[in-house]
């Protein structure tokens, strides 16, 4: 889990291009095609590892990423936080790489590296000069084959994760709001409601056998996607991949966790208290269409989210902060981490609002629902839709501008959606979203089926 998980709070962050251009069928009025047409090659090893290669010889840089199909929603009861804990374990050395050596080898080559835990996957990645490609391939293969799962490493990383929870959640205003506190109100199943950061009881009771079983079950090659992008020769890269990854033994991929749920039929509401928060807040969560199985419908919700919340001209920004002065901050996003294309069903559109203590929470809720109802009833003017989609398209294209960003996008799309190429098509598909799709998305956000979490600031600063 990264700062992105705890702090990124919007569907597609801002970004700007010239506003007001009309878009039809994924092409701007000026005729620019928004589809990224980088070549993608793929093959599968005998051990089940899916490999995606995305060559781009324009700059002498490569990115190597491994996405494992295991996230917080994969955790069984009694092992909350284990996906994140195991991400830490994967940096503690492996069969032929001592502890801290992975970092040293990447940085000595002039590269950077990281990993992150999400709801539906865990990833590891590095960006390096092109001549260091084999080094990165070897490092990822070695820890896929045999990470150093020892009692010392496990106890050390449990302590690290517990301290991370203290810093990011327990001792920070709004630390669990709403990403840890809203799901138990919005969902029913353990997969969707439990604390993905983990309880101290579950973390402390973890054993080396638990960690070894987790690795054997979820870190099988057949449960992963290796994506390499940048300045590479396809044939030579395939040779390197086969040299280092072929020896990793086959293990079957585990069954996918059941995370879809029936749509809610009633409104639900809860309250939490935060003694560290300087002001109260409220979060509203609505179930949205399946991001994978019903992507076209879901894209209308992506655009609606931006229209409601992104930028000074957005509907909720104008209404809550400038016209009615009911709030001091607002944001809306899809998925608990604000990664709209990285999640599977079931997921939420979340609007969170921080408001003064003398503003009743129901006034805030009424204003939010009224703005959504305006879209549902009156639709969206073409000029406003063009402005909103321009922002989302620009941000997607900016994210794909670097070799690493593009590689991560391909890997995520391959794992979650089954098609790496989708990452290059999203900007064009968003440009093709119609006013009717956005209006239909708004009609699906009913107050009668919303989950509402009220945060009360109980510390001295809020009195």
- 252-283, pLDDT tens digit by residue? 999 988 899 999 999 999 999 999 999 999 99
> Cα 458 to the chain's mean position, in Å?
31
Asked if residue 244 has pLDDT above 80, the reply is yes
What DSSP element (H or E) covers 215?
Answer: helix 208-218
Asked if residue 392 has pLDDT above 90, the reply is no
Over residues 196-218, the mean pLDDT reads: 95
DSSP label of 445: -
Question: Which pLDDT does position 32 carry in this prediction?
Answer: 53
Question: Which pLDDT does position 195 carry in this prediction?
Answer: 94
What is the C-alpha to C-alpha distance for residues 179 and 137, in angstroms, rounded to an integer?
A: 34
Query: What is the DSSP track for 404-441?
Result: HHHHHHHHHIIIIIS-TTHHHHHHHHHHT--HHHHHHH
Over residues 403-429, the mean pLDDT reads: 94
Look up tokens 């109802």; give the residue: 373
If one counts every other C-beta atom within 10 angstroms of the C-beta of residue 454, the result is 17
Sign, CA dihedral 92-158-170-83, equals: positive
Asked if residue 11 has pLDDT above 90, the reply is no
Structure tokens at 76: 């069984």
What is the side-by-side strand order in the sheet with 451-457?
268-274, 451-457, 281-287, 348-354, 329-334
Residue-level length of the chain: 463
Question: Which pLDDT does position 26 carry in this prediction?
Answer: 41
Question: Which pLDDT does position 6 carry in this prediction?
Answer: 29
Q: Which domains does the chain have, with CATH numbers?
A: 3-13+25-245 (3.30.830.10), 268-462 (3.30.830.10)
Over residues 228-250, the mean pLDDT reads: 97
Question: 48 versus 400: which is more confidently predicted?
Answer: 48
Over residues 45-70, the mean pLDDT reads: 96
Question: Which pLDDT does position 396 carry in this prediction?
Answer: 84
Asked if residue 39 has pLDDT above 90, the reply is no
- Reported as a pLDDT band with limits 50, 70 and 90, residue 18 is very low
Tell me which residue of 152, 147, 158, 192 sits closest to 344, measured CA to CA.
192
Question: Which pLDDT does position 460 carry in this prediction?
Answer: 55
Question: Which pLDDT does position 111 carry in this prediction?
Answer: 97
- Residue 57 in contact with residue 130, Cβ under 8 Å? no
DSSP label of 205: T
Over residues 24-42, the mean pLDDT reads: 62
What DSSP element (H or E) covers 114?
Answer: strand 112-117
pLDDT digits (tens, 9 = 90+) for 59-83: 899 999 999 999 999 999 999 999 9
- This prediction has a pTM of 0.91
Asked if residue 393 has pLDDT above 90, the reply is no
What is the C-alpha to C-alpha distance for residues 52 and 47, in angstroms, rounded to an integer?
A: 15
3-state class (DSSP) for residue 308: helix
């Amino acid at each position: 889990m990264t700062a992105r998980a705890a702090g990124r709070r919007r569907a597609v962050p801002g970004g700007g291009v010239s506003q007001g251009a009309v878009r039809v069928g994924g092409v701007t009025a000026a005729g620019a095609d928004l589809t990224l047409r980088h070549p993608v090659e793929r093959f599968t090893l005998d051990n089940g590892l899916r490999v995606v290669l995305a060559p781009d010889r324009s700059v002498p840089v490569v990115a190597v990423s491994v996405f494992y199909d295991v996230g917080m929603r994969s955790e069984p009861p009694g092992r909350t936080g284990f996906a994140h804990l195991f991400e830490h374990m994967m940096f503690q050395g492996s069969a032929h790489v001592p502890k801290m050596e992975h970092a040293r080898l990447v940085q000595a080559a002039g590269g950077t590296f990281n990993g992150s835990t999400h709801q539906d996957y865990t990833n590891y990645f590095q960006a390096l000069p092109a001549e260091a490609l084999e080094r990165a391939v070897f490092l990822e293969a070695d820890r896929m084959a045999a990470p150093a799962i020892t009692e010392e490493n496990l106890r050390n990383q449990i302590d690290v994760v517990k301290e991370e929870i203290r810093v990011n959640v327990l001792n920070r205003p709004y630390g669990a709001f709403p990403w840890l506190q809203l799901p138990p109100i919005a969902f029913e199943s353990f997969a969707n409601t439990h604390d993905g950061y983990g309880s101290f009881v579950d973390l402390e009771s973890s054993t080396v056998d638990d960690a070894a079983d987790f690795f054997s079950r979820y870190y099988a090659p057949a449960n992963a996607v290796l994506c390499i992008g940048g300045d590479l020769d396809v044939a030579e890269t395939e040779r390197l991949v086969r040299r280092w990854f072929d020896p990793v033994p086959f293990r079957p991929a585990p069954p996918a966790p059941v995370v879809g749920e029936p749509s809610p039929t009633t409104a639900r509401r809860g309250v939490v208290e935060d003694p560290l928060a300087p002001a109260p807040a409220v979060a509203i969560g609505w179930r949205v269409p399946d991001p994978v199985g019903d992507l076209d419908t879901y894209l209308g919700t992506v655009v609606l989210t931006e229209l409601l919340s992104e930028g000074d001209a957005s509907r909720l920004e104008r209404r809550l902060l400038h016209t009615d002065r009911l709030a001091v901050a607002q944001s809306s996003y899809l998925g608990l981490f604000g990664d709209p294309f990285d999640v599977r069903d079931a997921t939420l559109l979340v609007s969170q609002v921080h408001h003064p203590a003398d503003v009743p929470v129901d006034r805030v809720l009424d204003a939010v629902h009224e703005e959504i109802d305006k879209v549902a009833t009156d639709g969206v003017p073409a000029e406003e839709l063009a402005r909103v989609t321009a922002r989302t398209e620009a941000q997607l294209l900016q994210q794909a501008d670097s070799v690493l960003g593009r590689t991560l996008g391909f890997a995520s799309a391959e794992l979650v959606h089954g098609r790496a190429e989708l990452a290059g098509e999203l900007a064009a598909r968003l440009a093709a979203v119609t006013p009717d799709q956005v209006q239909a998305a708004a009609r699906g956000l009913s107050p009668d089926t919303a989950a509402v979490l009220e945060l009360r600031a109980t510390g001295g600063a809020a009195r």
